[in-house]
A and B are shown apart, each in its own frame.
Chain A
Amino acid sequence: MNPRPSLKERIKIERQSMPEQAASDRQRNFKEVNLGFDERLAMLEAQRCIQCKEAKCIAGCPVLVDIPRFINFVAEGNLAAAAHSLLGDNALPAVTGRVCPQETQCEIECVRGRKGAPVAIGYLERFVADWAYQQPNQAPMETAPPTGRKVIVVGSGPAGLTAAGELVRRGHDVTIYEALHKPGGVLVYGIPEFRLPKKIVHDEVERLKQAGVKIECNVVVGKTYTLPELREHFDAVFIANGAGLPVFMNVPGENLKGVYSANEYLTRVNLMEAFAQSDTPVLIGKRVAVLGGGNVAMDAARTAKRLGAEKSMIVYRRGKAEMPARLEEIHHAEQEGIEFEFLVAPVEVVGTPQRWVSGLKCIRMELGEPDASGRRRPVPIKGSEFVIECDVVVVAIGSRANPLLTSTCPELKLNKWGFIEVDDQGMSNLPGIFAGGDIVRGAATVILAMGDGKRAAHAIDDYLKTK
């Protein structure tokens, strides 16, 4: 083990920055933007953690990773112990190390952030997870003796995978039903390769399979099987089938050729690999306008650029400060030459006589009084209409509840938007039926879905013990 520097020395270490692919290179390829720490950088960064007795960072984490513990092992150079510790707390650390908004969760709580920069917890998490998956004789997940209890997980996105991992560790017999042909949910159809390589998702899924999780693709619960059928054959069900239906703008011209939902655009490129000579086509716009200000909008705009767009624009009805996207994503998008039109709302998609998109007619907005979300409400400025010339429009303004599953089980209690109502343990009004992720929250983040998965898995475990 390496001799540890003193606290005084450790306080002096500056936050290490993430090595990344140069913006000029990466705006034309789909390779990962962030390159990851090497062992030296990781150990140096890990030294910065002062090992608070009452670590606030843990409470900031939706899946409650014991952050100081794994970081301490990294600082000691004991990567095997770091991996063991991290993987015990988090089923998908290579994913969360890449896509979590650490800046608003664990890192915002870090004491080091009060004076200077917080410890780069996300970068360290990613480093440890990647290291673990590269080990040839990686220790399999430790599982309890079989309980004989059968649990169905609907959906193999972040909530479903997390729940499956937690449940299999407790000895339950877990089967995941996935509607698409590949497991991973939004991690494979939504988040682009350059932000989360599909190999990473594949590795995480393989690890769960080795631990005994069964994954059946091409099963749509609500169609292939109904929820009442599953209740008959399984001891508990965790529904994590995602949010589903994309929201469109409800403006004239939105069905012109060249208007995509972000879900469709990203699915064609990510899941169907339209960028890599697969049989699935996607329209390559010269000028692409992406509507919305969240992470999905950033993903779509950056994807458009990589597909060959000369101009890729974000069109957002509020200002930069109000954008819900992660700072890192906005920053990366800016570096890659994505242009931003703030305080602008679409009023019409305009088209050619052959009904191809030729532009997006917009109106300028100004910020008025705060709305229910606390953000200032954008108000249109009369007479300020103008047209943004473009040939592809991608709509990334959110999604609504998919009724496919819930409509097959009328007894299941939904809220007024069609999302499943659950108690604080994640259980619905039907005993043994739990739910989490976007089908409960509406469009949220990977880590919140994972938090739901972990919490629900614990509740399912308790439920099965009492049953």
Chain B
Amino acid sequence: MHKILRQTQLSPNVIRLDVEASRIARTRQPGQFVIVRKGEGSERIPLTIADARTDEGSISLVIQAAGKSTRELVALQPGQFIQDMVGPLGRATELIAQGCALCVGGGVGTAVVYPIAQGLHRNGVQVISVIGGRSKPWVIFEPELRRLGEVVVCTDDGSYGRHGFVTDAVKDLLSQRKIDVVYVVGPVPMMRAMAELTRPLKVHTIVSLNPIMVDGTGMCGGCRVSVGNETKFACVDGPEFDGHLVDFDLLSDRLSTYRQIEQQVNARHEEACKIGLNR
């Protein structure tokens, strides 16, 4: 059982949960994730560890409410519990030891970029973060990233920071500065666009993939992705891979496997809420 210590709304649909998990807080490294299962009958959901505090033995999970399971998680209040949590899983981020790194985060992916930026900063690497959101309220982790270096904020509607997508900002930065590596976490189309942008420039680009998982220990193979035409399991071989080698079409296609079932579940869930079956 893992107690919720704090619940913070970061954007209209993104919640930060600080959860008791002292063992994981001690050993986690940038890029690693946990799998949580809220309670009996709940799904197992992989969530990247956004931050950790060893003093209070907690980790931070940043969750975007999408389906029934994530909505249940973001509804958890301080004092309530997540029944099962396992980790830290996956390989740690391959951090460079010197030079300059671009950390690019889109939406909820910005929370995943944060520990990477932290790790780079600790290594003495110059960190430039480029983060984006639909509009101002959707931009998350800006103050945290500012503590680690320069931050360029982009909004789709121009309500805050630079008007436009993160790709445009990154394009400019790549032409102005010497960038050794780009780390990108965000929606699949954004990671794909970023990989296409850096490919001709031959800038090493690392992306963090979020395929469907069950056990997270390599046992089921549900999270298989194609990297350099080789099948890899994101849970044990990843979740981070060379963005220039990832088959993003396959990733987004496999992510849609249960979309129809989820829509039905969501509709049932909403109907039940409306008529008061959940009360």
Where the two chains meet, the residues of A that have a C-beta atom closer than 8 Å to any C-beta of B are: 179-181, 189, 217-220, 223-224, 242, 244-246, 248, 254-255, 257-258, 260-261, 263-264, 267-268, 272-273, 277-281, 283, 355, 402-404
Contacts and interface: CB of A to CB of B under 8 A. Distances in A.
Contact of A355 (B87, B89, B253): B253
A281 B89 contact: no
Nearest to B40: A278
A224 B68 contact: no
B94 to A, nearest CB: 16
Contacts of B253: 257, 355
B215 interface: yes
Contacts of B83: 181
A404 B68 CA distance: 31
Contacts of A283: 257-258
B256 A257 contact: yes
Nearest to A245: B218
A283 B253 CA distance: 15
Contacts of A355: 253
8 contacts: A248-B224, A257-B256, A257-B257, A261-B220, A261-B221, A268-B214, A279-B41, A279-B43
Interface in B122-152: none
B220 A263 contact: yes
Interface of B: 23-24, 27, 37, 41-44, 68-69, 83-89, 214-222, 224, 226, 231, 233, 236, 250, 253-254, 256-258, 261-262, 265
B136 to A, nearest CB: 34
B43 A404 contact: no
Given A220-B216, A268-B214, A277-B41, 7 more contacts: A223-B89, A246-B220, A248-B221, A257-B253, A260-B222, A272-B43, A404-B217
Q: 5 shortest A-B CB distances, which residue pairs?
A: A264-B220, A218-B86, A181-B84, A261-B221, A281-B261
A267 B221 contact: no
Contacts of A261: 220-222
B109 to A, nearest CB: 23
Contacts of A277: 41
Contacts of A255: 224, 226, 231, 250, 254
Given A181-B86, A255-B231, A244 B217 contact: yes
Nearest to A190: B219
A272 B214 contact: yes
A265 to B, nearest CB: 9
Most chain B CB within a 10 A radius of its CB, from A248, A255, A261, A403: A255
A180 B215 contact: yes
B254 A257 contact: yes
A245 B261 contact: no
B69 to A, nearest CB: 5
B43 A280 contact: yes
A263 to B, nearest CB: 5
B234 to A, nearest CB: 12
Contacts of A245: 218-219, 221, 233, 236
A223 B41 contact: no
B41 A278 contact: yes
A41 to B, nearest CB: 37
Given A224-B23, A255-B250, A272-B43, A402 B258 contact: no
